[in-house]
Structure 1
Amino acid sequence: MESSLSTIKHIDQIYKVTSQMNIRKGAGVKYSKIDQVDQGIFVKATEFYKGWYKINYKGNIGSGWAPGKYLEIAPVNYKEAGLVELTEKDGFVIDLHYATKKNFMGYRLYPKKAKALMTKSTAKKLKKANKLANKKGYKIKIWDAYRPLSVQWEMWYKIQNHMYVAYPLEDSKHSKGVSVDVTLVDRKGKELKMPTKFDSFSEKAGRSYPNNSKKAQQNMEFLTEIMLEAGFTAISSEWWHYNDSNSDFPTLDVPVK
């Protein structure tokens, strides 16, 4: 760059891309194009120079310069983004696996004190499903809810399989706060028998798998029944994953704390 260090402003800000834009090697159109970023993606800006921002994108895998006219400041926390928290005081069991090392990635993706977040409408529907579970003496255990887009990128780079991890640039409903990963527990807090454990990326996790035990099949079908009645939809590849039937919400990349 034809500039001195004193003219570059160092920043730390998350922005949302408002229109498809080119990423360049330096701050200006005279620099060569190195990539392209689509509308709606979140990027982290680290430097500013004469209307251009040095950004990290694609889950911090890519780096380059982008024109500021295509960037808008993104929400900085979950409340500003319109998300709400569900806790055990709301009658759920909270067990966020990605806030521990006990997940398919092998390390924490969320901080230890991460919150179970989702949109207000999704939270309302999940409360309804939990009341239906309560009638049978069960509770819903939440394994995952809202997932920052940057975390979705980390998962995608490891798995790269649409059946189990949504491609971040297309439609990650977890990153909209409208998807939940759940199971059921009994009055003693013990998980009910289900086809597989959480994040079992195999055919056994599929809803049409024919060799489930009778008890696991019954429990999966009951969970599905109450979730659908509450306003969720299911997917074929993961028995634990449910989407709010209304997913018309923006993708987000705010922290889960």
Structure 2
Amino acid sequence: MRKNKKVTLGIILVLLVAAGVGLIIFTQLKTSSTNETVSSTTGSQDAAQESTLSSSSSASSESSQESTQDSEPPEENPYEGTFDLPIENASGYASIDLPVKEQADEDAKTQETLSAGDAFKILQEDGDWWEVEYEGKQGWVEHRYAFINLPDVLPSAAYDNTNTYSSRYRSSGIDIPEVTDTSLYDSKTENERLGKEEFIIPVLYTTAKKIYEAQSQALENNETLLIYETYRPHNAQEKVYDQLSKLADENDTVKAGADTEPWEMFWFINDEVSNHQMGFAIDVSLAQIDEQETKFYGDYSVDVIKDYTEYQMPTPMHELSSASAVYTSPVTAVDPDAWKQAQLRPEVNQPALALQEYFVNAGMTPLASEWWHFNDLEARDQVEDHESNGDFTMTEVKNSAP
């Protein structure tokens, strides 16, 4: 009986061991299968992730290439015409009370009359006429009696109208009370066409063309016109004259420099209507171009001045004394050839002579008393008996991209 029990216990023990071994083998097989499944799934996920990253990288690369292509600067497209930019959509001004006609014809019906100094947008040119837009209306004006805003069509030049913020007027190097370092009038505003704040530089249309020719010559020598002033309101000029007259009465040095034979004060400043008010004079210097950049205005590109260095001239700009004279004695300002017989002062240096050459070649006449001043006598003849009196200031532009 005891022997049978021992046999039975032995069999049970063997069965238990076998079952344990089987369980261990089963567990290992199941774990291995699970690991393979996980490994397979993980591998699929990794592959998918790599594929996604690869696609993303490829898309990003393509997007970057497209972005690079989109950001490439447009091809340069200089305007082939009289100015840097076409006159269309530039700002113009009536230099006198100017009739607006229904058609480009002197005998056409007058719609209304613009007051001297009124601004308008130039739409197109037809012979001697501009079609203009003003106060939401359109009509035609004779452009010989109109100013054009020079920066709108000649952005390649440099502009610095110091009389609008800190006048440089001095005499024999002496400050003129209530004038020097003051603003004589307001003439700078935001310019939509140019995309920046800029001086308003109005000048008769005929004269503007000559200034463009002078600038074209300067650019060929890596130089630029530095334009200080064209139109000057009459009341600003009267103030300078009055204050300089008072100073000359009190100061012998100023008196000797501005009002001693062969020169008289009116050669430097006067209280009558001058060529500046009429719109055919310019005060200008010359500068070396240090840096340019290409700007786009509408469809057209222009190389504009980013940095420049003004040349050392015979005197500072607007030095009202005989030190600024070009010739040893006065020369009539109404004869386009009289200056050719005059004798140069030895103080007139090469930059001043280069500036004179540019303007003479462009058809303008130097003023004997000021190295910086040039007149357009052709434009003067065109507006004879209809000259501007300068009793207004232009403070707005009406323009848009060309």
Q: Say whether the fold is shared (TM-score over 0.5).
A: yes
- Partner in structure 2 of residue 164 of structure 1: 268
Larger gyration radius, structure 1 or structure 2: 2
TM-score, with normalisation over the residues of structure 2? 0.42
RMSD: 2.5
How far apart, in 2, do the equivalents of 1:150 and 1:73 lie? 21
Give 1:225's aligned residue.
Answer: 357
Q: Is the 8 A contact 1:178 1:243 kept in 2?
A: yes
Structure-1 residue corresponding to 2:118? 77
Instruction: Report if aligned partners of 1:184, 1:223 keep a CA contact under 8 Å in 2.
Output: yes
What is the rounded CA distance, in whole Å, between the counterparts of 1:137 and 1:245 in structure 2?
28
Q: Following the alignment from structure 2 to structure 1, what is the Cα–Cα distance between the partners of residues 184 and 349?
A: 31
Matches for 1:95-174 after TM superposition, within 5 Å: 95-104=160-169, 105-106=179-180, 107-111=182-186, 113=188, 114-160=199-245, 161-168=265-272, 171-174=273-276
* Structure 2: gaps (5+ residues): 1-95, 98-112, 121-133, 135-144, 170-178, 189-198, 246-264, 291-307, 329-344, 396-402
2:393 counterpart of 1:255: yes
Deviations 1:30-75 (A, max 9, x none): xxxxxxxxxxxxxxxxxxxxxxxxxxxxxxxxxxxxxxxxxx9842
Letter in 1 for 2:269: V
CA spacing shift, 1:73–1:116, aligned 2, 3 Å: closer
* Structure-1 separation of matches of 2:373 and 2:119: 22
Give distance in 1, aligned partners of 2:349 and 2:119. Answer: 36
> Contact 2:147/2:205 (CA < 8 Å) preserved in 1?
yes
The Cα shift of 1:186 comes to: 0.8
- Mapping for residues 181-196 of structure 1, pairs under 5 Å: 181-188=283-290, 189-196=308-315
Pair 1:202 & 2:312 matched: no
- Flag the 1:153–1:229 CA change in 2: closer, same or farther, 3 A: same
Q: Deviations over 1:207-227 (max 9, x none)?
A: 136442xxx611111110110
C-alpha separation in 2, matches of 1:78 and 1:234: 30
Compared with structure 1, are the counterparts of its residues 256 and 76 closer, same or farther at alpha carbon in structure 2 (3 Å cutoff)?
A: closer
Cα distance in 2 for residues equivalent to 1:172 and 1:141 = 21
The gaps in structure 1 that reach 5 residues or longer are 1-15, 18-71
- Measured after TM superposition, the shift of residue 112 of structure 1 is 5.6
- 1:133: Cα distance to partner? 0.6
Partner of 1:178: 280
Aligned AA for 1:125? K
Would the aligned equivalents of 2:281 and 2:375 in 1 still touch at CA under 8 Å?
Answer: yes
- TM-score, length basis structure 1: 0.64
Measured after TM superposition, the shift of residue 154 of structure 1 is: 1.9
* Residue-pair matches, total: 183
Higher helix share: 2
Runs of 4 or more, structure 1, over 6 Å off, are: none
Task: Find the aligned partners of 1:78 and 1:172 in 2 and give their Cα distance.
Answer: 22
Deviations 1:73-97 (A, max 9, x none): 8424254871111128521101001
Match of 1:29 in 2: none
Task: Spell out, residue by residue over 1:125-150, the C-alpha distance to the aligned partner (whole angstroms, 9 max, x if none).
Answer: 10000001111110001111011222
Q: Percent identity?
A: 23
Q: 2:187·2:394 contact (CA, 8 Å) conserved in 1?
A: no
In 2, are the aligned partners of 1:194 and 1:217 still within 8 Å (CA)? yes
| 1:100/1:112 contact within 8 Å kept | no
Distance in structure 2 (CA, Å) of the matches to 1:116 and 1:135: 23
